[in-house]
Structure 1
C-alpha cells in the first residue's frame, strides 16, 4: 500500500498548489491514501494571520477543513483523502489548541515542535556564538518539548523529530542521552513518528529522523509512518520506496496510518 500523510498547500504561504492539485497528483502517482496536513493557524494570537509565510489564517481554518472534506467525497472512487493538520506544539497554549481540534473530523493530527526557546528551529544562525554546553541545552530542550507533546494526548503522529539539523547538520553530533529518553516516552505513549523525507531538501540532506534514531525507536517499540512533507505536488511520496527498503533493513516489519484518529497497520 502506498500513502503519504504529510503535505502542504498554498494556504500556508510557503507551499505551491491547491489541495486538489495534491489529490490529483497522488492519483497519478498511484497512492491509496493521501493525507492533507497544512500548518495550523497561530490560534493564540489576536491577529488573524500572524505569520503569513508560515501558516494559514485563523479565518481560513474551517474553510480548509470543508475543502478537504469536499475533495474526500469528490474523489472517493479514486483515492482515500485524509483530513489532517500539522499542529505547532506550544505547551502554554495546549488547551486552546485542543479546543480547536476536539470537535473537528480529523483523521490525524501531526504534532511538530517548530520553536525552541522562542526561536524557530529552522532559523539560520541560531547556533552562532553558542558554547558547547549551550548547544547541548538547546538540543535537550527540543527533545523535552517533543516528549511533552507525546504525553499531551493530542497527537497521533510526531513530526520530523530531528528537524533541528535541517540547516545545522552538526546538531546530530551534539552528545546527549535525551533522544533515547524521549523515544522511550514516545513508545510508552503509543504515538507514531514519521519518516519525513523533506530533510533531503535542507542542508543536512537525508531524512528526519536519521537511521540511528530509527534503530533506537524500534528498540522502544515506536510505530512509524511516512510523510514527504511535500510543499509542491511533485514531491508527494518522495523516496517512499527507499524509506520502505531501509526500514526493512533496520528491522521494521510494519508501519501505520490513521483514519478517524484510529491507527491502521500495514506491512512493509
Structure 2
C-alpha cells in the first residue's frame, strides 16, 4: 500500500492546482492514501494573511477543512483522503497554534521548523562570514528546535528535518553528530514520526530530506518513518516513493507509518 501525506495547493500562495488535482494525481500514481497538508495561516499576527506567498489566510482555514472533508466523502471507495495540515513550530505561539488547530478534525499535523535564530532556514545569506564554531552552533540550535517541537505534543509527524540544507548543501558537512543524535532520541521517546520528504531533490541540494546518514541514525534509535512528496504541483504526488521504500529497506526498516484520526497505522515496506 502506498501513501503520500505531504501535499499543498493554491491556498498557500506558492503551489499550483486545487485539492482535487492532487487527489486525482494520487489515483493516477496508484496511491491508496493521500494526505492534504497545506500550510496553516500565520496566527502570530492580527493580519488576515500576514504572508500571502507563504501561508493561507485565517478565514480560509475553515473552507480548507470543509473542502477536504467533502472530497473525502466524494472519493470514498476510490482513495482514502486524509485531512492534514503543515504547521510551523514557533515557540512563542505554540499554545495559540495548538488551541486553534485542536478545533478541527485533523487526521494528523506535520510540524516543521522553517525559522531558526531569526532567519528562514532557506536563507543562504545567514551563513556568510560564519566561522566553524558559529556554523556548528547554528546547526545545533536548529536541531534543538526540532527536538522541542517533538516534545510539544502538537505533531504526529515532523517535516523535512534537515531542510536547512535545501539551499546550502554544505550544511550536511557541518559536524554536529551529538545534536542530531539527541534530537532523534527525543523524537523516538515522544513517539513522533519523521518523514522522508522527496522535495529536496528539486532544491539546490538535490537530495531527499533527511540524508541517508540521519535515516540510519533514526533506525538505530527506533524512530518511525513516514513519507511525503511535499508536492506543490500535482505531478509530484508520490515522487520517488518506490526508491524511498527501497532505500529504507536497505537501511533496515521493515515498515513506515501514516496517521488517521491521530492514530498510527504501520504499513509493511
Same fold (TM over 0.5): yes
Q: How much does 1:228 deviate?
A: 0.3
* Alignment length (residue pairs): 268
| Alignment partner of 1:242 is 2:252 | no
Q: Which residue of 1 aligns with 2:17?
A: 17
CA distance in 2, matches of 1:190, 1:172: 25
Q: Which residue of 1 aligns with 2:182?
A: 181
Pairwise CA RMSD:
0.7
Q: Could you say what secondary structure the match of 2:127 adopts?
A: coil
Q: Deviations over 1:94-144 (max 9, x none)?
A: 110011111211000000000001211112322111121111111111001
Unaligned 5+ segments in structure 1 are none
Q: Which residue of 1 aligns with 2:5?
A: 5
Q: Which residue of 2 aligns with 1:30?
A: 30
TM-score, L = length of structure 2: 0.98
CA distance in 2, matches of 1:199, 1:152: 26
CA distance in 1, matches of 2:108, 2:27: 21
Q: Which residue of 2 aligns with 1:267?
A: 268
Map 1:1-268 onto structure 2 (within 5 A).
1-176=1-176, 177-268=178-269
CA distance in 1, matches of 2:35, 2:83: 6
Q: Deviations over 1:127-169 (max 9, x none)?
A: 1111211111111110010000000011000000000000000
Deviates more, 1:132-141 or 1:157-166: 132-141
TM-score, L = length of structure 1: 0.99
CA distance in 1, matches of 2:210, 2:240: 14
Q: Could you say what secondary structure the match of 2:126 adopts?
A: coil
Q: Deviations over 1:174-220 (max 9, x none)?
A: 11120011001101111000000000011111110000000000111
Q: Could you say what secondary structure the match of 1:58 adopts?
A: coil
CA distance in 2, matches of 1:45, 1:133: 34
